[in-house]
Amino acid sequence: MSDTLLSSLNESQKKAATYIDGSLLILAGAGSGKTKTITTRLAYLISIGIDPASILTLTFTNKAANEMRDRAFNLIQGIEVNTPPLLCTFHKFGLLFLKFHMGELNRKNNFIIIDTDDKKRILKSINKDITTSILVSEISRYKNSLLSPAEAKLAAQLKLYRDIAEVYEKYENYLVENNLVDFDDLLLLPYKILLANEELAKQVSQKYNYIMVDEYQDTNELQYRLLRLLCCTHNNLCVVGDDDQSIYGWRGATIKNILNFNEHFEDTFVVKLEENYRSTDTILEHANHLIEHNRDRLGKKLVGTRTKGDSIRVYESNDENEETRKIVDDIRKLIDSGQSAKDIAILFRVNALSRSLEEGFNKAGMNYKLVGGMKFYERSEIKDLIAYMRILTNKDDNFSFKRIINKPKRGIGKTTIDKVEAHALQTDMSMFDVISKNSPDELSKIVGKKNARTLKVFEASIIDLNELMAESRMKFLDSFEETFDYRASYNNLPDGADRQGNIDEFYGYIRDFFIQNPHLELKDFLNEIALESENEELYSEAVSMMSIHASKGLEFKHLFIIGFEEGFFPLIGDGSDIEEERRLGYVAITRAMDNLTLSFVH
């Protein structure tokens, strides 16, 4: 079985797949069969008798996790596996861990995960003077740097940062009071629990005796520290990555994690995957030549396995409209010659450069997909429905209560909401409790008779739906719409049909979830969608337009990179890192399989 598994690997890939005990660094160049190697290694571990339940594989996206899981399971067909290995994102691992161990922080395990939009709303309610995006990024930076609110205050030298630290403290208190966690908490809280409980850390480390990490060059300080704790009883950590593709420094990724891996973990065995199966030799020569200028790298060189290929074309234009015309003409010729639109992509360093492209494609009547538009779960009508579902799973969720108490409109205005919230704070109750634990007469004294009646009807609806959900999930979904008429509230609106289509899609998704997972609950569905990968599906027959960051991990037969000029790419400015700009260029070039066109404007 083991020999069959390894038969399709090259020598370097075999070395990586069969190195079992001790720390292992697989330096995987672009297009070098990284996923094939790591999934074969996972299957190989199982084939030689290692307990699958002792293997933990961590990725950055659900898409990568699903692909690896499918590939690995295909490889081990015929081997009886009682407990499958855990293969998931860092954040999913954190979620699973907290479900079992949240009590270590004296908190309940029925917490709800908030997304970035929720986070912005909470921060805006705490402070309206500081730009919300600054608060979001700074608080995330604090958490990933393991800084508590108190430590952030001590470190702050400017008034702005002292104020941000104050907001951070209030934000943390709000999350704890409402039993909410943000995405950073899914890593930070497990780290805190394991750091404080040495015995638990040993138990978890002994449970996962073999750990693999994909895209290690994208890890940050917190993820590195968490991995150290997970490996506190052994040194069996295999990481796969490419220092030349480390392009997320702006969001906290630390290239030093991969550069210094053999210093962090003793007796590291290093394997370099340098054979590229994706691009022509010509494309690889340019990629190698560019990245060789970087000093901060471990050093490897992509070696082609294909033909030399066509020369790289370089377009020089007087303005962006001329640039767009050239590219549109080229793409039209490719499609007319029988090439598929899904095999063609245009990349840019700065999103603003997409405008002229979109205009040109619209004029030409050509299909395109702009990757990075508004995600499904970020649409307001879907966020409202999610807030309703949150209330049904956790009536103490004040944040969700405030979002939906007047959606659809039921005459409950801001003044009434403020009164309920003020009473909740005075009596140390949730806002829902203010309604449920006060009689109609008592509630009338707080919000007035008419509003009290409306709120009591809302309370009764939530209780009825909860009872129905315990009885039948499908009937619950039907009754939910009948109770609140949420879908109907978009009748006669200009974009109502589109929104209703989204609502129908959401209801259908919940139904499918319950059919496929009859043992899971509504809170599991909510946590699952909160962890949905941010990568959008590409339209099957449309030219893809995207930023270089969004293109990582993808490949296209015909690739155009626009804005290849100083100021746009490389992007030069305060705090810019020319080495990271080169790595971005390397990532962009190595997305191309057959043809590459570079374009710049005077």
Task: Give the catalytic positions in this structure.
Answer: 34-35, 214-215, 245, 591
d(CA 562, CA 601): 9
Eight-state DSSP code of residue 327 = H
Please name the residue ranges forming H helices in 127-158: 132-144, 149-155
Q: Look-up: residue for tokens 């702005």? A: 160
- Calculate ∠ Cα 227-231-233, nearest 5°: 160
Q: Nearest CA to 86 among 232, 201, 211?
A: 211
d(CA 588, CA 554): 10
- Helix, coil or strand: residue 593: strand
How far is the C-alpha of 154 from the C-alpha of 428, rounded, in Å? 31
| Cβ atoms of residues 25 and 269 within 8 Å | yes
Amino acid occupying residue 48 = I
* Token code pair at residue 593: 């399989």
Q: How far is CA 63 from CA 70, 130, 397, in A?
A: 11, 36, 30
CA distance 361 to 338: 19
Query: What phi and psi values does residue 260 have, to the nearest 5 degrees?
Result: -105, 15
What span, in angstroms and rounded, lies between the C-alpha atoms of 251 and 257? 15
**SS3 state of residue 544:** strand
8 Å CB contact between 358 and 545: yes
> DSSP secondary structure string, 341-392?
GGGEEEEESSGGGHHHHHHHHHHHT--EEETTS--GGGSHHHHHHHHHHHHH
Distance (Å, whole) CA 53 – CA 82 = 9
Residue 541 phi/psi, 5-degree rounding, is -125, 65
Handedness of CA 167, 177, 532, 555 (dihedral sign): positive
CB 289 within 8 A of CB 590: no
| Interatomic CA distance for residues 331 and 345, integer angstroms | 9
Q: What Rg do the C-alpha atoms of the chain give, in angstroms?
A: 27
Cβ neighbours of residue 512 closer than 8 Å, sequence gap 6 or more: none
309's CB contacts (< 8 A; 6+ apart) are 279, 280, 281, 282, 283, 594, 595
Cα(247)–Cα(487) distance, rounded to whole angstroms?
Answer: 42
Decide: 583 and 247 in contact? Cβ < 8 Å: yes
Residue among 58, 143, 44 at smallest CA distance from 95: 58
- State how far the Cα of 356 lies from the Cα of 585, in Å rounded to an integer: 22
Among 441, 465, 466, CA closest to 452: 441
Reduced to 3 states (helix: H, G, I; strand: E, B; else coil), residue 4 is helix
User: Contact, 279 vs 287, CB < 8 A?
Assistant: yes
Contacts of 43 (CB under 8 A, 6+ apart): 5, 72, 75, 76
